[in-house]
Amino acid sequence: MTISACTLDCPDACSLVVEDGPAGPRLRGNPDHPFTQGFVCPKLDVHRRRLQSPYRLRSPRIKSNGRWLDIGWDEALALCAEKMDLLRAEPRSILHVRGAGNRGVVKFLSTLFFRTLGASGLHGSLCDEAGITACVEDFGALRHNDITDIMNTAALVNWGRDLARGSVHTAAMVRKLRKQGVPVVTIAPGMDTASGFTDRFVRIRPGTDRFLAAAVLREVLRRKGVMPEVAAACHGLPEFLDLLDGCGPELQDWCGADGDDIAFLAGLYAGPGPVASLLGWGMQRYRFGGQNVRFVNALAMLSGQVGKSGGGAYYNLSSMGNFDVPWKKTTSYGRTLLMPDLAREIRRADPPVRMAWVECINPANQFPEAGEVARALGELEFVVVADAFMTDTAEVADLILPVALMLEQEDLAGSFLHEYVQLSRKAVEPPAGVRTDYEILSDLGRRLAMPVTLPDPEEALRQALRSSTLDTSLEELRAAGFARSSNPAVAFEGLRFGHADGLYRLPPRMDPPVPVPEGFPLNLLTLINRRFVHSQIPPEEQTARPVVAVHPGTLGRMGVAPGPGRVVTELGFLDVTLEADESVHPECAVYRRGPWGKYGGGVNRIIRAVETDLGGGSAFYEQRCRLEGNQ
């Protein structure tokens, strides 16, 4: 038995008990972990199958005349070193494309490798950066109350977090709250996120959270004003109140909420008991996603819910925030390209990108305009993909390097939800012929004409634990598996914030809704998948045509029947199975993200690259579409 931890891109970052079984490793939640509490989500069973999949790559592969040939590691890394040495005179011609498919301190050393080279990297995000930037602009730091503090609330308002498909431990706490009689309200376009997790559902149009938050806040301020201690903690309050005063009934029209719902929410936020606001990781995926987050934060702040137990606004933590990783501050890329617009960024880069190294992400599937991303990568002189499978991105590579997966290597990982850091211990051996990302880059660094030397993994782990918020050693973590940071259970207690002046910042503007383009009446929402993390789907489980859920009234209005059909955007179409689902908002079409293009998925090929208002994020959910039937 081994105590390890999940390092996938999931907020719960579960502590795991790994045991040998007749059909491979058995994974279960660590019952001694205060947050994991002995249970885990279905995605870990999928990971167990990925470890043993017959489709795993087991040797480097090179593309020769359009065919893949297996080669040895010496030949593969010698070729990489030769290409990099040729480009070292202009290191920005080498592009490092790294994602969060597998997290950890040792994993992060690949960033040090390419920064040391002076290579190009990425900025922005496919997911949460608009919301992260919004929270930092508001609070001055990326903090929230300990997630377990929601058990102290008098009411929980869930702004769109899908508890049926993500964060099983938050879902368990919400169920417990309801059993204790604490009211839970869910605000979302689709009711499927609320089933079993809510006492009242508030349906809004997609991407309009800021309008509902402003409408509720106007009513809260009408009822009780701003408490003196809250007003004293805010910068720019008069200007923000003027902004709200300039709004009116259009807020309700824009968000589509019922007037009774607005009054009910205002009653909660203006009431005597603390209200916890749980912000979903979807509201930031719109053009004005940063504003969505900022106005919900402003509602929590000005109603007096911040800085107290049972209150607070929960969006995100930094999963690396409790580690001391000095090379994050002492090194930088030669330049960065905008992640959500990668194809155009590659093609207009000066000096030009000539080589790319891709790891922990599947850009030809996950990025907007994914087909163009694949073509832009394919136009480069040399592309290396480090992956365990022949993904959509691996297909456009020149060289593929097979990598070890979670549980096949040791690392330290944190959470972007809770305050525990965990040691993800090596619990199983990787297949013969497979190497860790660290082993690959460490070996490659030694082969360069001007070598790049990475820290030893053991020293990197020990350095990471020299953090001001941790009081533990590597030996203690290897024995216990986890430790909690010293961050307080209540964030911003005393209403002192992270800005230099200690004051909270309020949003300076509110943009109106984005106009609906003619011919594309529906929002195409590519939402979280219950069983899979992004595109980490075993190839053997990708045989069905993707399903798109649509409200039956919408199908009838468009003259389309359930069954074979197409989702059409201005970029093209995707053949799908249309499914009638009354829980879906009538103005939406819902696709569960992840299926690969090579197996009929790849919806991001028809999603345009649109940058969010803050943080360089990708506004995936801004994409509009129409439906066609009988394809």
What's the pLDDT band for 50 if we cut at 50, 70, 90? very high
User: Per the omega criterion (within 30 degrees of 0), is the bond before 351 cis?
Assistant: yes
Write out 375-423 in H/E/C secondary structure: HHHHCCCEEEEEECCCCCCHHHCCEEEEECCCCCCCEEECCCCCCEEEE
Contacts of 608 (CB under 8 A, 6+ apart): 368, 369, 569, 570, 571, 623
| Residue 83 pLDDT greater than 90, yes or no | yes
Query: Does residue 353 come out as left (phi exceeding 0), alpha (psi in the -120 to 50 range) or beta?
Result: beta
| Residue 328 pLDDT greater than 90, yes or no | no
Domain ranges of the chain: 2-51, 61-126+320-484, 129-315, 522-629
Q: Where are the alpha helices (DSSP H) in 404-507?
A: 437-447, 457-464, 474-480
Q: Are 29 and 56 in contact (CB under 8 A)?
A: no
Burial of 601 (0-12, 13-18, 19+ CB in 10 A): buried
Bridge partners of 201?
186
Distance of alpha carbon 112 from alpha carbon 330, whole angstroms:
9
| Residue 543 pLDDT greater than 80, yes or no | no
Range 91-113 average pLDDT: 94
What's the pLDDT band for 342 if we cut at 50, 70, 90? very high
Percent of the chain at pLDDT > 70 equals 100
Q: What is the pLDDT of residue 469?
A: 97
Distance of alpha carbon 40 from alpha carbon 243, whole angstroms:
45
Q: Where are the alpha helices (DSSP H) in 256-367?
A: 259-269, 289-302, 327-330, 342-348, 363-366
Q: Which CATH class, in words, describes the domain spanning 129-315?
A: alpha beta
Structure tokens at 54: 């017959």
Percent of the chain at pLDDT > 90 equals 91
**What tens digit of pLDDT does each residue of 356-412 get?**
999 999 999 999 999 999 999 999 999 999 999 999 999 999 999 999 999 999 999
Angle at 333 between CA 332 and CA 336, to 5 degrees: 125
**What tens digit of pLDDT does each residue of 192-248 get?**
888 889 999 999 999 999 999 999 999 999 999 999 999 999 999 999 999 999 999
DSSP letter at 430 equals P
CA distances from 226 to 26, 304, 408, 598 (A): 54, 8, 54, 55
Q: Which residue has the tokens 């460490």?
A: 442
Range 111-129 average pLDDT: 96
The one-letter amino acid code at 599 reads: Y
Range 265-278 average pLDDT: 97
Comparing C-alpha atoms, which of 475, 595, 493 is closest to residue 534?
Answer: 595
The DSSP element (H or E) to which 558 belongs, if any, is: helix 552-558
Q: Which residue has the tokens 């891109």?
A: 9
Residue 589, SS3 per DSSP:
strand
Domain 61-126+320-484 has CATH 3.40.50.740: yes
Q: What is the pLDDT of residue 233?
A: 98
DSSP letter at 309 equals T
Residue 34, SS3 per DSSP:
coil
Q: Are 420 and 482 in contact (CB under 8 A)?
A: yes
Q: Are 344 and 609 in contact (CB under 8 A)?
A: yes
Q: Where are the beta strands (DSSP E) in 167-305?
A: 184-188, 200-203, 234-235, 275-279
Structure tokens at 163: 């508890």
CA distances from 378 to 86, 249, 339, 613, 616 (A): 19, 51, 17, 30, 24
The pairing of beta strand 563-569 with beta strand 572-580:
antiparallel
Q: How far is CA 267 from the centre of its chain?
A: 32
Distance of alpha carbon 121 from alpha carbon 172, whole angstroms:
38
Structure tokens at 301: 């702040």
Comparing C-alpha atoms, which of 320, 406, 360 is closest to residue 16?
Answer: 406
Structure tokens at 526: 């590519």
What's the pLDDT band for 86 if we cut at 50, 70, 90? very high
Q: How far is CA 485 from the centre of its chain?
A: 22
Q: What is the pLDDT of residue 631?
A: 61
Query: Please, what is the angle between helix 209-224 and helix 289-302, to 10°?
Result: 20
Q: Which residue has the tokens 């503090």?
A: 149
Return the CA Rg of the chain: 24
The pairing of beta strand 547-550 with beta strand 588-592:
antiparallel
Comparing C-alpha atoms, which of 78, 43, 82, 76 is closest to residue 57?
Answer: 76
Q: Are 387 and 400 in contact (CB under 8 A)?
A: yes
Distance of alpha carbon 513 from alpha carbon 613, whole angstroms:
13
Q: What is the mean pLDDT of the chain?
A: 95
Distance of alpha carbon 465 from alpha carbon 468, whole angstroms:
9
The DSSP element (H or E) to which 178 belongs, if any, is: helix 168-179
Q: Are 184 and 198 in contact (CB under 8 A)?
A: yes
DSSP letter at 287 equals T
Answer positive or negative: Cα dihedral of 195, 201, 203, 208. negative
Report the length, in residues, of the chain. Answer: 631
Domain 522-629 has CATH 3.30.210.10: no
Comparing C-alpha atoms, which of 436, 439, 427 is closest to residue 405?
Answer: 436
> Torsions phi, psi of 207, nearest 5?
80, 15
Comparing C-alpha atoms, which of 277, 352, 279, 267 is closest to residue 308?
Answer: 277
Q: Which residue has the higher pLDDT, 45 or 362?
A: 362
Range 22-36 average pLDDT: 90
| Residue 329 pLDDT greater than 90, yes or no | no
CA distances from 57 to 44, 69, 374 (A): 20, 12, 20
For the chain, what is the largest distance between any 2 Cα atoms, rounded to a whole number of angstroms? 73
